[in-house]
Every structure is written in C-alpha cells, then in structure tokens.
Chains A and B, each alone.
Chain A
Amino acid sequence: MSAHELKSGPLEYRTQEGRMSILGFWIFLAAEVVLFSTLFATYAVLYGRTADAPVPGELFEPGIVLVMTFLLLTSSFTCGIAIHHMRRGSVKGLMTWLIITLILGLGFLGFEIYEFVHYSHEGATLQSSAFWSAFYTLAGTHGVHVTLGIGWAVLLLIQLAKRGLTTVTSRKVFIISLYWHFLDVIWIFIFTSVYLIGMVV
C-alpha cells in the first residue's frame, strides 16, 4: 500500500487502505443510525405505557440532563480540536485534547449511571414497565457506545505514545473522532425526543 502513498493532504487519507477504512467506517455509522432508529421507534411506540411505574415527567430533571448534554457537546468539540492538532502534526496537542475529551466522556457516563441508579430507586427499572424497558434500552445502548469509545480511545492513546503519528495511527484516531461526534448526534436526539418531550408531554 505504501507504494501508492500520497505526499500531501491529511495523513489519514494518504494510503488507499486509510481511505477505504474511513469509507468503511461511514458505512458502519449508517448502520448505527438504523440500529438506533429501531430503538427510537420502540421507545416512541411504547411511550406512555408506564403501567404502575412512575411516569417520565416525574423523574426527568432538566438540570442533570442539561449537564450531561453540555458535557457531551463539549467533548465533541474538544475531540474536533484534537483532530485539528493532529492535522497540524502535533502529537502532544492531539493527546492532550483527546484526554480532555475522555475525561468529559467519563463525566457524562458518571452522571448517566447516577441517573439510572436514582430512577431505579424511585421504582423505574428495566422490568417495571414497557416504557422504562424501552427507555433503558435506548439510553443504555448509547451509554454502552460511550463506554466502548472510551476504552477504544485509551488503547489508541497508548499506540500514539508508542508509535507517534503515522498513516496508520492517524487513520485510527480520525475514525474514533468520527465515532465520538456520531455519539453526540445520537445523544442530541435522545436529549430532545426522550428527555425534553418526556418533560413536556
């Protein structure tokens, strides 16, 4: 592959393998959109079927949800800054901003875990009603994606520290940045259609 390596442009796009990997990842993201759409559809259909469990309007609190949203939005921004540094060839800048991104991601996860524990103490668990099953599956699947993303990024940070910026490591980092921004896209829809609408309707 290195025989066809380009001499200019961002590192991650210089090899055929890099370009194909990025293309493949966009296909994966499209599949993720469809995966989450089934969960959103389930949630929308089961909306209001709370049986004897608490209704969402009683449990959802604007404060914590806004904090989670801002944490994730900011982490998406810092992830973009990390890629900005990567393209300027700064490994140090890339790693610093990537670590900030991960800390924000961990903060988000912490709040989400706290939220789930709090809800289950209030009597809304995965088993309590069709609505809460759909809620935990949707929000939980997103949370699992964030968790996986954090683990993935930690492994990449180790690679970056060992190997520095090459066509391979920069492609890997670029792909995880796409993944991270994508999680934010999904969260925006969860924030809007689950939390905000849950507090309005």
Chain B
Amino acid sequence: MAEHSKRFPINHIIGFVLSIVLTLLAAWAALGSDLPVKWIVAGIMTLAVIQAGIQLFMFMHMTERESGGGHVPWNMMFHGFVLAAIIVAGSLFTMSFGFTHDHDDGGSHQQEEQQEEHSGH
C-alpha cells in the first residue's frame, strides 16, 4: 500500500485527535450536561462504539490489503462483538429486567418489611 511509505502518518493523527475529542465529548455529556440520564447513557455508549471503530479501522490496520482486505479480522471482531452484545444484554435481561434490589420499591412489600426489621434499617 502506498501509505506505508508515507513519511507522515496522517491516518493515525486523525484517529488520535478524533479519539481525544470523542472522549472529552463523552466526559462533558456525562458530567457537564443536563441531559436526561437515559440520553446520556445511550449517547456515551454510542461514542464508545465509534471510538472502538476508530481503534480497529485506523490503528489496527483491519482493512489493509495484506490481511485479505480485512476479511478475517472483520469476521472475528464482528462475531466477537455480537457474542459480547448477546452476553451482556442477555444477562441483564434474565438477571435484572423488571426487578429491583432497592429496598424502597419493587418486590414483595411484606418480605421487604421483614428484611428491614432483621437488618435494623
């Protein structure tokens, strides 16, 4: 590839600047903005996925010709991340969907009162 002989690694610099900007944006959204919590969570997770993409495509040479045009790396990462999404979402769904461990709401009230008596809250 022609870019291997370039003196100036422009791709890396763009990727680096982008990742710094996205990090600051995520930090601002989480700590400095007044957005609703749901929007913040969805927003910063989206920013994280974009940043992961920057690492994979701009730094990890995922799509270069020598690695078969990225066929294998792309397959591996795609399946890895699909499995990861299923594991995380599936665990959350089976373990905590519609259920809360907080003592102030949810669950059986009677049981909760008993628990409170025992623990002396």
Q: Which residues of A contact B (CB under 8 A)?
A: 9-10, 13, 19, 22-23, 26-27, 29-34, 36-38, 40-42, 44-45, 48-49, 62, 66, 69-70, 73-74, 76-77, 79-81, 83-84, 87-88, 177-178, 181-182, 184-185, 188-189, 191-193, 196-197, 199-201
Interface string of B67-100 (1 = CB under 8 A from A): 1000011001101110111011011100110000
Known: A32-B80, A193-B48. 16 other contacts (CB 8 A): A26-B76, A31-B80, A41-B91, A44-B92, A49-B101, A178-B60, A181-B59, A181-B60, A182-B55, A185-B52, A188-B51, A188-B55, A189-B48, A191-B48, A197-B44, A200-B37
Given contacts A30-B80, A77-B12, A184-B55, contact A196 B30 (CB under 8 A): yes
B87 touches A38 (CB 8 A): yes
Q: Could you tell me the distance in whole angstroms from the C-beta of B49 to the nearest C-beta in chain A? A: 9
B4 CB–A CB distance under 8 Å: yes
Q: Could you tell me the distance in whole angstroms from the C-beta of A149 to the nearest C-beta in chain B? A: 14
Q: Give complex CA distance A177, B60 in Å.
A: 8
Q: Could you tell me the distance in whole angstroms from the C-beta of A25 to the nearest C-beta in chain B? A: 9
Given contacts A26-B73, A70-B23, A192-B26, contact A197 B41 (CB under 8 A): yes
Q: Give complex CA distance A184, B58 in Å.
A: 13
Query: Which of the residues A29, A48, A62, A189 comes within 8 Å of B27, measured between beta carbons?
Result: A62
Q: Give complex CA distance A59, B38 in Å.
A: 22
Q: Could you tell me the distance in whole angstroms from the C-beta of A146 to the nearest C-beta in chain B? A: 15
Interface string of B1-41 (1 = CB under 8 A from A): 00011010100110110011001001100110000010011
Q: Which residues of B contact A (CB under 8 A)?
A: 4-5, 7, 9, 12-13, 15-16, 19-20, 23, 26-27, 30-31, 37, 40-41, 44-45, 47-48, 51-52, 55-56, 58-61, 66-67, 72-73, 76-77, 79-81, 83-85, 87-88, 90-92, 95-96, 101-102
**Using Cβ atoms and an 8 Å threshold, which residues of chain A touch B20?**
70, 73
**Using Cβ atoms and an 8 Å threshold, which residues of chain B touch A73?**
16, 19-20, 23
Given contacts A10-B4, A33-B77, A45-B96, contact A40 B59 (CB under 8 A): no
